[in-house]
Amino acid sequence: MATIDELLETIEAAPRGPEVCALFDFDGTIISGYSATVFLREQIRSGQLSAREVLEVFTAMAQFGLGNLGFSALMAATGQLLRGIDEDSYRAVGEDLYRKQIARLVYPEARRLIAAHRARGHTVAIISSATPYQVEPAARDLDIDEVMCTRLEVEDGLFTGAVERPTCFGQGKVDAAEALAARVGADLDHSFFYSDSTDDIQLLERVGNPVALNPSSKLRAVAHDHDWPSASFGSRGRPTMAQFIRSIAATVSLVPSFAAGLPIYALTGSRRDALNFSLSLFADAASALINLDLDVKGGEHLWSKRPAVFIFNHQSKADVVIVARLLRQDIAGVGKQEIKRMPVIGKVLELGGVVMIDRKNAASAIEAMAPLVDAMRQEGKSVVLAPEGTRTISPKLGPFKKGAFHLAMQAGVPIVPIVIHNAGDVAPKGDFVFRPATVDVEVLPPVDTADWQPETIDEHVREVRNLFLRTLGQPEEPASSRPARKRASRKSPFTQQPAAKRETAPASKKQAPAKKAAAKNAAAKPASAKTVAGKKAAVKKAAAGKAAPKKTPAKTTAAKKPAPKRARKAGAARPAARPKLRSGDTP
């Protein structure tokens, strides 16, 4: 069996350029398991299939597995289940299922192989018997432009129930690969094909560099007979019982680690020392239980400028362990409000100094984070948080929120970027189980915030985010082409009014001079006069003894009332037709 490093060395030794194709099967090769089962499970869950239709699908799949039914016949049978379904709604379901269920099945090793081929300038493609609704979301995530797969017939935006011929299976894959090679000027004799199944034996024999990746027992035997490279990875798929038990232990280890610090607090009275001890204990215990190793570059920057705001890219729940192991002491964290509702663990984190924020309510989040400024200024603590706000489904960096940057600017401390390369190898988003892995981490030099201004915060966010992108080897975010708008004396959202002023402000409003009150009343009169103009007109004429000169009628409040009605009518569009198939999961 080959290792991932040996496969990468073979890629490195291959010629550069698009004349070499790197073809990947999808189900079982790029992802663990089969995407079709995810789609079928969703159709059953959402009530789109009757009991009879479910039985028909399983019967067809069983007949195919026994060799009594061809692939085209299988697709014809399953394609009938989609007849009359709106294609756009089904594509949206595919995107949703990839984000919530399929993305975490992608083998990290497959990502590395794809990235290695791309670095050599090879033509990378997915060639799969699955449909584009299963494959294309993954291709976009993996930055693969070429996708060849089995397509369903669509008329007027609806599936007809038929399958386009030829299907991308068996000899159909060979034909598709040869068509791609002819189009890009590649030579299949020098190209790679990765597959897990003997269903792809024709294409494996056609290319110059066949690789059995996560192979079935049959393909493993064939690969051995043909002396093809073969590799199997345990980073995805069904976890072992030992991995499951160790994951539970690592998760709950936070509680006994916190309890172990209580005697220190009882004997010394130092809550800070107790929390520092508990944090370090948790970091070491959880790492040992997970079998997590860190390869850290730039570790000196973790201690060169403290206090600081440490920010990290968020891919995995393992990030909590990674960050605790890196920072170890004198830190306060920021977490989502949902953590607070976790039994015991939520309360432990809250007592440990983690500030829980409501990500959907910016105002309450800012209010909750404001005390962290005092923690940095007065207690010398550092703050750690993920500016993306939530975990990403892949190593691709998400957009940054501005909270961390305002915090650093208001406290007058630097920002220290912590770039985590592959935490998803340990536990991708949506997975409970931690898997053994070595995570690569780069700590970048502190970023000085002394000269930052709220008016230019967007540019500072972009600059720091580009540091992450550059380190991760991802395309950088270009500068905004729009000129910066001047904003009048804008303040950081974390700016706090002095306590004395906050206390006296209400009283000063109540004790406003009578002249100011009179001026306010006078200023308010024209607006109220407009609404009662009709009632007072006669009184004014009688008192003046003469008719008032004619004036062009001013726009009154009453004249403006129809506008909201028109706006409501314009906005009251007919509801869109409900798609016949949709994912029932909440976003």
CATH number at residue 276: 3.40.1130.10
Cβ-proximal residues to 294 (8 Å cutoff; 6+ apart), any chain: 287, 322, 325, 326, 438, 439, 441
Residues 415 and 355 in one domain: yes
Same domain, yes or no: 288 and 266: yes
Residues 6+ apart with CB under 8 A from 189: 207, 208
Q: Which amino acid is at 74?
A: L
3-state SS class at 356: strand
Provide block-wise average pLDDT over 10 residues at a time, the chain (587 residues). Answer: 94 96 97 91 83 81 74 77 90 94 95 96 96 96 95 94 91 96 96 96 97 95 96 90 94 90 92 91 95 96 95 94 94 72 68 67 66 85 91 92 90 96 93 94 96 93 97 90 50 49 40 41 40 40 42 41 41 39 41
Last residue of a domain, one of 449, 472, 495: 472
Owner of token pair 């007949």? 63
pLDDT at 422: 94
Assess contact for 26 and 126: CB atoms under 8 A.
Answer: yes
One domain, residues 280 and 222? no
Whether residue 105 sits in one domain with residue 78: yes
Residues 26 and 173 in one domain: yes
Closest CA relative to residue 231, chosen from 49, 70, 1:
1
Instruction: Name, in order, each residue with C-beta under 8 angstroms of 386's C-beta and a sequence gap of 6 or more.
Output: 311, 312, 313, 314, 319
Helices 533-544 and 514-531, packing angle to 10 deg: 110
Q: Pick from 199, 231, 263: which residue ends a domain?
A: 231
Within a domain: residue 38?
A: yes
| CA nearest to 214, candidates 102, 67, 109, 61 | 109
397 and 268 in one domain?
yes
Q: What is the DSSP letter of 426?
A: T
pLDDT at 499: 40
Q: Model pTM?
A: 0.75
CB 193 within 8 A of CB 211: yes
Q: Would you say residue 317 lies in a domain? A: yes
In degrees and rounded to multiples of 5, residue 334 shows phi and psi of -130, 130
Written as six digits, the tokens of 180 are 């791609």
Answer with the one of 188, 210, 231 that is the final residue of a domain.
Answer: 231
Burial tier of 72 (Cβ tally within 10 Å: 0-12, 13-18, 19+): middle
HEC secondary structure over 441-471: EEECCCECCCCCCHHHHHHHHHHHHHHHHHH
Q: Which residues contact 321 (CB under 8 A, 6 or more apart)?
A: 250, 282, 283, 286, 287, 290, 292
pLDDT at 340: 63
Q: Does residue 335 contact residue 357 with C-beta atoms inside 8 Å?
A: yes
User: Could you tell me which of 49, 120, 131 has the C-alpha nearest to residue 94?
Assistant: 131
CB–CB of 77/60 below 8 Å?
A: yes
The torsion angles phi and psi of 23, rounded to 5 degrees, stand at -100, 135
Residue 559 placed within a domain: no
Do the domain assignments include residue 549?
A: no
Residues 51 and 103 in one domain: yes
Which among 51, 138, 45, 48 has a CA at the least distance from the CA of 90?
Answer: 48
pLDDT the model gives residue 578: 35
3-state SS, 511-534, equals: CCCHHHHHHHHHHHHHHHHHHCHH
Beta bridge mates, 209: 192
Task: Give whole-number Cα distances, 354 to 250, 331, 337, 413, 525, in Å.
Answer: 19, 9, 10, 19, 52
Distance CA 146, CA 585 (A): 30
The SS3 of residue 40 is helix
Could you list the residue range(s) of the whole structural domain that residue 44 is in?
4-231
Shared domain for 390 and 267, answered yes or no, is yes
What amino acid occupies position 163?
A: V
Q: Assess contact for 383 and 376: CB atoms under 8 A.
A: yes
